[in-house]
Structure 1
């Protein structure tokens, strides 16, 4: 069996930036063990698989060690592949996922994800979070992930986490964030419990960051930067129970997977 494989750098307009995602279109679902094995072989933060169903697509995402409930950059990469490589002509792509229906459109030079908002609430800092980050944050909140707030971009950039400590946290990743110098806010994202020490650019984290910073800055339209080694640029819009996350993408490779 031969399967198409695309690797796309998401949330960037340049090759070798943003977050690389593998995208594997399927005509029918393969066993979960096979999907997980291919994701482990790709060894990227996410591999996305989709199957067409009527006028939408069933979409799933796998890290090298597990399936996840929501992934932004691999959703953006999947929509890019459908439009740019597979001849999709619909102006709006609908994905059926574990997080409900997700929509992707194109406007103003960006692909725009329509995702559920996940605003955070204050919480007591878990000891493993503080020790794992190495520098106490000014404030800690929690939603689908922990959020550690710092005073400035330089502090976030300089963090050198103890990933073994962060991996002992409950079923959460860790977003670290601060006001940006030439953007509205910056962030980094750590998820060693899911097999990803640091994710280069995390669309799903901005489901939490967008309502957080929109509330604190008093604006619904924001520009964000994830300051990982690769780095990525995101446009964010708060819309009540939803967020819109915009970004660009560029192709790295196209090939085939050979299965027995």
Structure 2
């Protein structure tokens, strides 16, 4: 997500972090917390995860119990893009081969499907050219390589907001999940944000309610006390 006026209605990263802080503290003993936002009520749910299999906790020598935080969002519809704009977008993506190209109707993002997840990972965008493209930003995606453990890769470019590439954009999956669910014939997917930092999201599409359940993790990297 982006720290701009367009994103002040709801920041997914901050919601995830706030939920993690609550779930790992003594503030409340509940697996569900609701946040009041400008966009409405956002529900965060603590979802059990199988105990980690990467051995012992390096700090105390004990096995770790992990959990995911699930955020519930509506799906984002997509429509066909004006064919006159395709060449501009192709140039901004260094002439990448495009399998499909759409435009989200709510957020006004361009969604470009590339031939493979590897193509997504290796693409070198022209950020100055993206600033001149239609729409808010560009989402690229491609089917994940066999054996990778993922269903699809994606990246989000938003230089118009001063952020060339967002490390992990949860909201992009509100459009990508219905697309890949139909293509792959499944409602439970694992997406990999193939940015330099990277990130993993476990996703479930509720076809009946047309909602996307985004499941991810947060890690506390710093704690402190504020003296007033």
What TM bracket, shorter-length normalisation? 0.7 to 0.9
For 2:78, the equivalent position in structure 1 comes to 120
Tell me which of the two structures has the higher relative contact order, counting C-alpha pairs closer than 8 angstroms and 6 or more residues apart.
1
The runs of at least 4 aligned residues of structure 1 exceeding 6 Å deviation read none
For 2:41, the equivalent position in structure 1 comes to 101
1:88 offset after TM fit, Å? 3.2
| Residue among 15, 23, 32 paired with 1:75 | 15
8 A contact 1:201–1:232 mirrored in 2: yes
Distance in 2 between residues matched to 1:253 and 1:171, nearest whole Å: 37
8 A contact 2:110–2:135 mirrored in 1: no
Based on CA coordinates, which of the two structures has the bigger radius of gyration?
2
For 2:142, the equivalent position in structure 1 comes to 178
Distance in 2 between residues matched to 1:114 and 1:70, nearest whole Å: 12
Residues 86-95 or 217-226, more deviating: 86-95
1:76 offset after TM fit, Å? 1.2
- Name the Cα RMSD after superposition: 2.3
1:147-174: CA deviation from partner (whole Å, max 9, x where unpaired): 1001111111111111111122345221
1:166-205: CA deviation from partner (whole Å, max 9, x where unpaired): 1223452211000001211110111111221111111111
Relative to structure 1, the CA distance from residue 97 to residue 128 in structure 2 (aligned partners, 3 Å threshold; closer, same or farther) is farther
> Which one has the bigger strand percentage?
1
Distance in 1 between residues matched to 2:220 and 2:18, nearest whole Å: 11
Tell me the TM-score normalized by structure 2.
0.78
| Residue among 107, 110, 123 paired with 1:146 | 110
For 2:31, the equivalent position in structure 1 comes to 91
Relative to structure 1, the CA distance from residue 146 to residue 256 in structure 2 (aligned partners, 3 Å threshold; closer, same or farther) is farther
For 2:191, the equivalent position in structure 1 comes to 224
Q: Can you give the 5+ residue segments of structure 2 that lack an aligned partner in the other structure?
A: 50-67
For 1:66, the equivalent position in structure 2 comes to 5
Aligned residues: 198
